[in-house]
Chain A
Amino acid sequence: MLLTAVAALAPAFLACAGPGATVATASEDDGMIAVAAGPIELSELPSRVRLAPSGDRPLAAELEALGPDRRLYLVLRGLSASAPPGVLFHLYLGLPAGAEPATDDPRHVGSLNFFGATPVDGGTRPPGPAADWQSFEVSRAVRSLGERGLIGEAIELTIRATGSPTEGARPVIGRVELVVQ
């Protein structure tokens, strides 16, 4: 049974953007539920990053409030390096400090490379879009951690290089976000 219809949309709708508008235009922050401000300089040692909730609620509560069909993305912004690091960096969510994950560890959520994230043309031109942001869908991994009670106030991201980055490469991630879409 039809309960309600939009009877007069044309006169009723209004665009909320514009000077003085209290409803903000959507921005890249929309959907962000946790964040770690950088910069995060990567090395041959594991880097541990705490993704703290961006709102008032603990991350576990934020996740619990999401519908089951929402997709979660780990977003790495502002990549830079002086030279190609020459290795991949593997991303793990919820890995305990000091843990040595197996190659098939289910907490592995992606592999980050810096190809295209370094300056070109003799170092005179900035890198391309690869340096802007890269994202990895982590819905399943996060929900699995949540179901096992392994997410509380925040969630830990561990970044592990396979081998040693090229000396002087100085790979850096500017900021990490957990985003809902």
Chain B
Amino acid sequence: MSKLTRRAFLGGTAAIPLSLWLPGCNGGGGGNGSNGVEGEGPTGPTGTGPSPGALVRHDTRSPEGQAMLEIYAQAVNQMKTAIAEGDPLGWVFQWYTHAVRNDRTKAGEIARIYPTASPDRDLANDMWNTCRAHFGPPEDDFLPWHRMYVFFFEQIIRQVSGNDEFTLPYWDYSVADPALHGVIPPEFRQDGDPTFGSLFVGKRNSGVNAGQAIDQGEPGNPLSTSALGECGYSQQGVIPGFNRRLDFGLHGNIHVLTGDSQNMGSVPWAAGDPIFWMHHCNIDRLWASWNAAGRVNPSTAAWLDQEFVFADRDGNRVVGKTADFTSIAPLGYTYDRLEPVPPCPPAPAPMDDVPVVVQPRTAARAQPISLTAGAVRATLAPPPAELDEQPAPPLGDQVRALEDKRLYLVARGLATDAQPGVLYHVYLGLPDGTNPAAGGEHLVGTLNFFGFGAHGDDMSHDAYYSFDVTDLAKQLEADGRLGGSPSLTIAPVGTPASEAQPVVGEVTLVEQ
């Protein structure tokens, strides 16, 4: 505890950017391996190697995790009983960073705890009630804000415990073993215990502190990690994406099933329960698992440049920027185990890998279609014949002559400066003036720009979408609605990000 006296307040608007703070962030530690864990990497199927000196966060049920819980319990006891609630290293200050208890207000609590101006009061003003996304959109900030929150809290536990190699253990409630599935670790259920009593909270749901699974009797599997199957980070239309599905699904379910409306089950009270941190350590592990499987975080400046205020282990104001928290490796920690992540449907394949015949002369004629916030219409016109070629027969004749062959609409050369965050519906032969939402029979498929890079990237030129439009083209021709130059309509589902500037390089009809 002697290290607490080293705390040097920075006043007013002073702050330490993370880039300057990180080199010294582990105090004297940073992981020298004396706990025998330095250099251990995730052992899960999707794990990637840790950074040198990375400290390992363990499962609460492992021997290492149980040892960490003992350190944690002692530190929590100190934070609750020996450190003032207005001190950035105190329990209440850390709890209120997530949200101030709901029978009081932030303004009222600041006035009560800090009757006079002080740097800590300024810091409380900046930090309390900042949980994302409860206290402000965008929803995509849920994961990085909580990664920062857990990261700096872990630093504070190191400081308070005097153990520079402490790592927060995670609560893996989704584990399949029925003896462990949904069961809160025993260290959190020992009321009055001299070692672990600080981790006990009485206001958990009935049966939870008796070791009953929190989802006992619940249909389905509300503790499922199925959010890992999401292929994109952000929502696209009504597809929630990984961040949103994890937040509103598993994450919220754990809160509600663990505690009541003055405990884990309510945003303003949740971080007052010591199990909160093991829950969010696990949420952070799932994000790390998702990334380790190759899933990609947003790349927009709007997301990467977000900054949030926290207190470091010395109680100093520190500003965390999302760009510095998108990967755990630079942060000096890893997990003993990552979760397997289901594969995504195959991305659009490179041209050489699929048997679609596109005549070389087509590529030279590519013209970009710039997608906008509204529907975009284009005309599929016959290709001009080369000098030594006969003009192509009318499109209708070719469609009628398809016989056993299929007709594909191929969109190539997709590129975007940033992810649009929406899907795009593609329509063939949609009559002019028809609302795309009412044009279902003309809908041939959906485009998304996941996996497509910025304009000029090689990747943007060797992958494409292809939609089988045989039946639709035959029907349009039979109805006399195909014509020689049918229309193509591409409409966003929702409002695309303004900075995205998505482009489809070329669209062709191909017989195969």
Contacts and interface: CB of A to CB of B under 8 A. Distances in A.
> Do chains A and B interact in one complex?
yes
Interface of A: 1-10, 12-18, 21-31, 55, 62, 65, 67, 70-71, 73, 75, 83-84, 86-88, 90, 101-105, 108, 110-111, 113-116, 118, 120-125, 127-130, 133-135, 137, 160, 162, 166, 169, 179, 181
Contacts of A16: 374-377
Interface residues of B, number: 98
A104 B222 CA distance: 12
A30 B437 contact: yes
7 contacts: A2-B362, A3-B395, A26-B492, A108-B219, A111-B222, A116-B248, A130-B252
B21 interface: no
Given A6-B367, A121-B100, A23 B238 contact: no
Given A17-B374, A90-B220, A103-B220, A118 B239 contact: no
Given A116-B267, A120-B267, A8 B379 contact: yes
Nearest to A169: B261
Determine the main DSSP class of A at the interface with B. loop
**Among B255, B374, B381, B399: residue with most chain A CB under 10 A:** B374
B19 to A, nearest CB: 29
Contacts of B373: 17, 25
Contact of B252 (A6, A71, A104, A115): A115
A25 B102 CA distance: 41
B508 A31 contact: no
Contacts of A26: 374-375, 422, 425, 436-437, 491-495
A8 B366 CA distance: 9
Nearest to B101: A122
Interface string B346-383: 00000000000111001001011110111111111111
Contact of B129 (A62, A102, A121): A121
Contacts of A160: 219
A7 B365 contact: yes
B436 A84 contact: no
A5 B238 contact: no
Contacts of B392: 2-4
Contact of A84 (B133, B265, B434, B491): B265
A22 B494 CA distance: 17
A116 B244 CA distance: 12
A48 to B, nearest CB: 17
B204 to A, nearest CB: 12
